[in-house]
């Protein structure tokens, strides 16, 4: 029985070590970390998937500083998020856009993921509040089908 348990345990360990997060799981973890630990920790955990990010340390520090400004005094309370767009280029590139719901205004978060081999990495991340301009533009007569 001990031998059987050891075999099952080793199989579980190897299965867990090969488990991979999907782009949606990585994005959802970002929002969980954002709520629990703040923007800096959420960004650190998000960019942990990309070994090349240390070459952009200044840009990440700037992004952290700006995101920390999305606090209760500026945008109000956070009420959650929803996926608003998903675009794929083949099997190796995915863009996910989320609408984060705050008291004052919605904020759009855009994640781009790339899978060069067998692991998804964060290729790009940004946020903006210009979604209202885009929806107004889309509603113009010349854009209607």
Q: pLDDT tier at 142 (50, 70, 90 boundaries)?
A: confident
The pTM (predicted TM-score) of the whole model is 0.76
Q: What mean pLDDT comes out for the span 25-52?
A: 89
Q: What percent of the chain has pLDDT over 90?
A: 45
Structural domain boundaries in the chain: 21-143
Q: Which CATH class is domain 21-143?
A: alpha beta
Tell me the C-alpha distance between 8 and 114, whole Å: 33
Query: Who has greater pLDDT, 3 or 126?
Result: 126
pLDDT of residue 99: 95
């Amino acid at each position: 029985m001990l031998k059987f348990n050891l075999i099952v345990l080793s199989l579980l360990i190897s299965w867990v070590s090969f488990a991979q997060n999907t782009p949606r799981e990585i994005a959802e973890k970002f929002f969980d970390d954002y709520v629990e630990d703040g923007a800096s920790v959420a960004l650190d955990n998000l960019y942990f998937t990309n070994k090349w990010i240390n070459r952009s340390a200044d840009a990440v520090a700037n992004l952290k500083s700006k995101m920390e400004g999305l606090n209760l005094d500026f945008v109000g309370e956070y009420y959650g998020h929803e996926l608003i767009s998903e675009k794929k280029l083949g099997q190796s590139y995915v863009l996910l856009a989320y609408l984060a719901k705050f008291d004052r205004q919605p904020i759009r978060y855009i994640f781009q993921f790339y899978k060069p081999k067998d692991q998804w990495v964060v290729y790009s991340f940004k946020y903006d509040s210009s979604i209202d301009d885009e929806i107004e533009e889309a509603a113009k007569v010349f854009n209607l089908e």
